[in-house]
Structure 1
């Protein structure tokens, strides 16, 4: 596998993940913004709490308008809270909510089984189990939640 193959695999996995996400109440169109940008912003906030929208945009490469829309969706879902920046009261700082909202719990409880089966097409139950197990190994070693390990 080379870098291009890994990148393309990552995009395929992202699409499977997006397909597996349950729709927000009232449908995605009502909420605006893409699921991908919401997840990118949520991921950034997990590692950079108390960030302003402009800082999130600079780190993620998303346009500031997309970050603002994603923050609004995350706030509506109860996943983040905002507070005025004590150093500059004109700016709002964003951080993950201290408690898990119902929407966040729903999203985290949803499995990828159906989306993965659809992506694999005419696979056998054994092949589906093999791919699911391989994804579990990758998640265990590469997920952002995995404790840092010394690099060789």
Structure 2
């Protein structure tokens, strides 16, 4: 495997992962909004500035995304108890529940769509489980 193949594989796995966690019935979120929600999910009680630093997005992009996500009820905001001028963001409980439900689903149906041969799909699943064990902390 060379670097280009590795990048292509990473992109394909990202596409499959997004297909797993995206609910077609849910309101559409942009890739940037998904990145912001993901960041806040991993770092609760965080500020727009901290999200900007971790994601690398422009402050204006983060601020607009946060405003939209708050309007949709996906993020909750509260004043920072240490500095009342700052707003701290957390994923709302309803969004947290939906995220947990989506990420807990098994990958096999998505893999089966990508690899129609049942035996090959089973093998892909085994290999991905093995790779996850080797490469993920």
When the two structures are superposed, what TM-score results if normalisation uses the length of structure 1? 0.64
Paired position in structure 2 for 1:116: 111
Tell me if the contact between 1:41 and 1:67 (Cα under 8 Å) persists in the aligned partners: yes
Larger helix percent: 2
Q: Deviations over 1:55-103 (max 9, x none)?
A: 21222123334434267538724xx543222343232122456898431
TM-aligned CA distance change 1:96 to 1:127, over 3 Å: same
Structure 1, unaligned runs of 5 or more:
147-152
Paired position in structure 2 for 1:73: 69
Paired position in structure 2 for 1:94: 89
TM-aligned CA distance change 1:134 to 1:84, over 3 Å: same
* Greater alpha carbon shift after TM alignment, 124-133 vs 51-60: 51-60
2:77 matched to 1:82?
Answer: yes
CA drift at 1:127 = 0.6
TM-aligned CA distance change 1:93 to 1:2, over 3 Å: farther
TM-aligned CA distance change 1:110 to 1:89, over 3 Å: same
Say what the alpha-carbon RMSD is for the aligned residues.
3.2
Tell me if the contact between 1:40 and 1:60 (Cα under 8 Å) persists in the aligned partners: yes
CA drift at 1:46 = 5.0
When the two structures are superposed, what TM-score results if normalisation uses the length of structure 2? 0.70
Structure 2, unaligned runs of 5 or more:
none
Which structure 1 residue ranges, 4+ long, deviate > 6 Å from structure 2? Answer: none
Q: How many residues align?
A: 134
